[in-house]
Amino acid sequence: MVHTLFTWRYGGREVLLCSSFDGWTEQVPMILGEGSTTVFQAICDLPPGYHQYKFLVDGVWRVDDQQLCVQDQYGINNLVLVKEPEIISLPLLIDAFQPCMDVDVGIMQLEASSSGGLSNGPMLPLLANEIEVSRHRLSMHLSFYKTYELIPNSSEVTVFDVNVAVEEAFHVMHDKGLAVVPLLDEQSRQISGMLTASDFILLLVELHRSCTMLTNELLEMSTISAWKEGKHREAVGTKLLLRRRPLIQISTVPVLHFTQDGSYPQLLHLACLAGILRHICRHFRHRLEYLPLLQQPVGSLPLGTWKREAGNASGSRLLTLSPSDLLSSALKLLMEAQISSIPIVDDKGALLNVFSRSDITSLAKGKVYTRIQLEQTIISQALELVDGAAHNRYQTCKRSDSLYRVMELLSYPLGRRIIVTAADSLHVEGIITLRD
């Protein structure tokens, strides 16, 4: 069977597809293409050969006279020739995954969340149209659902007033295990931004760079609003240096409910990439054949960042640190390379732990940030402050695991990144993140 795309380009309220390949007995609903108000599409699995079809548009039988047509004793129908599928070549597979966004090349070469190259592992045959079919089918599926589908039946959401002290904010983030919190501007009655662990890292680095003591009084005097305004002024002053950069680097979006009386918007949920993956996995768990790309092993796809010896064909490289490296080095690497986490390995390259941006909020525990010295603290000491056992802080997979399995792991609350290890050991080969 071959995945075949049918398109009706001329609008309508309801468009159905009827065809000879099911004996003219079924009418397949067609849906609007992504971003269109007139183009309807449907995908069917057909055997190779010639097939006739027509469209039922708002109760009226129609044919597309811009496509091949045939006439028989029953009237005029469109005609399609379905050919045997071809096996995709390696260069075509790589090209199909190339990013089309204009980005900073220097940053992308270091970014652990950017796509890497192909592995040297065995590759399952991938039909030439399966990449596009999977993308199109997933796009059609998501177009049927609203953000409401991502909201759990019961949950707790947190929002900070922009006038809250930075110290208090990071204490709350640590206590509640939050990596990102929306900010409410009371004056404009809007969600004005997000406070993240990256803000805490920047604050610590800036204060240590200026040799300022991290006293309670200093952090109590600094509000979130003042901190954000200061960082904005710095960004404006250096904007000429940022000529090419990714336009979209968003992982969490507030879902708001607005009332007609113009009162404060109600924060319902924080939609995130993990929640979208969880939705996809739930709906396609028992019909993976509908998205054939999900059955491919991750080691055969240009996905994630890999060690050079693991077969990375791109310029990116996997960044790792040892337990004895300084905390200052880890924070600098996280920010400058624009990555969210770094595998911690022993001298043989075996996985010991993972250090992430969100771990820095652990310094709020017992007000450690008032005493810690970034240039004298090593990573192993910093990780001792992190709550929870090490094995609960990250997930691992093998190169032979399917893309669906990796998506399933990434959909877990703590699965923001997956460490790829060797089949017979904990030797780190790569990392796959939510952004991938």
pTM given for the model: 0.67
CA dist., res. 398 & res. 405, Å (int)? 10
Residue 205: pLDDT over 90 = no
Q: What is the DSSP string of 212-244?
A: ----HHHHHH-BHHHHHHHHHHHHHHTGGG-SS
pLDDT at 20 over 60: yes
In this prediction, residue 216 carries a pLDDT of 53
The band of 81, judged by pLDDT with boundaries at 50, 70 and 90, is: confident
Three-class DSSP category at 94 = helix
**Gap between the Cα atoms of 326 and 268, Å rounded:** 40
Closest listed residue to residue 63, CA positions, set 23, 72, 47: 72
Q: Which range is least confidently modeled, 33-42, 232-241, 254-263, 390-399?
A: 232-241
* CATH number 3.30.1330.40 is the correct assignment for the domain at 90-147+273-433: no
Which pLDDT score is estimated for 215?
A: 53
Token representation of residue 89: 């070549």
> Is 428's pLDDT higher than 90?
yes
Q: Is the dihedral of CA 338, 418, 342, 232 positive or negative?
A: positive
Provide the pLDDT confidence category of residue 427 given band limits of 50, 70 and 90.
very high
Highest-confidence segment of 52-61, 165-174, 221-230: 52-61
CA–CA dist 310, 312 (Å, integer): 6
Two domains, one topology: 2-82 and 90-147+273-433: no
Looking at the predicted structure, is the pLDDT value of residue 321 above 90?
yes
Class of domain 151-269: alpha beta
Provide the mean pLDDT of the chain.
Answer: 79
Structural class in CATH, domain 2-82: mainly beta
Q: What is the pLDDT of residue 120?
A: 38
Task: Please report which confidence band the pLDDT of residue 403 belongs to, taking 50, 70 and 90 as the band edges.
Answer: very high
Which pLDDT score, from 0 to 100, does residue 149 have? 85
Collect all residues with Cβ–Cβ distance below 8 Å to 58 and sequence separation of at least 6.
12, 13, 14, 15
What percent of the chain has a predicted confidence (pLDDT) above 70?
Answer: 78
For 253-297, write each residue's pLDDT tens digit: 999 888 887 777 888 999 989 999 999 998 888 888 888 889 999
Residue 434: predicted pLDDT: 87
The pLDDT value recorded for residue 86 is 56
348 against 106, higher pLDDT: 348
Q: Could you state, in order of their start, the residue ranges of all structural domains in the chain? A: 2-82, 90-147+273-433, 151-269
For 218-259, write each residue's pLDDT tens digit. Answer: 566 688 888 777 776 765 555 544 444 444 567 789 998 888
Give the pLDDT of residue 406. 95
pLDDT the model gives residue 128: 59
pLDDT at position 240, please?
A: 44
Contacts of residue 121, defined as CB under 8 A and 6 or more positions apart, other chains included, come to 297, 299, 300, 311, 399, 400
CA pair distance 417, 397, nearest whole angstrom: 10
Specify the amino acid at residue 112: A
Please state, in angstroms and rounded to a whole number, the distance separating the CA atoms of residues 315 and 312: 8
Predicted confidence at residue 115, as pLDDT, reads 33
Q: Residue 21: how many CA atoms within 13 Å on its side-chain side?
A: 21
Confidence of residue 315 (pLDDT cuts 50, 70, 90): very low
**Residue 436 vs residue 308, higher pLDDT:** 436
Each residue of 121-147: pLDDT tens digit? 344 556 657 788 888 888 888 887 888
Which backbone phi and psi does 372 adopt, to 5 degrees? -70, 145
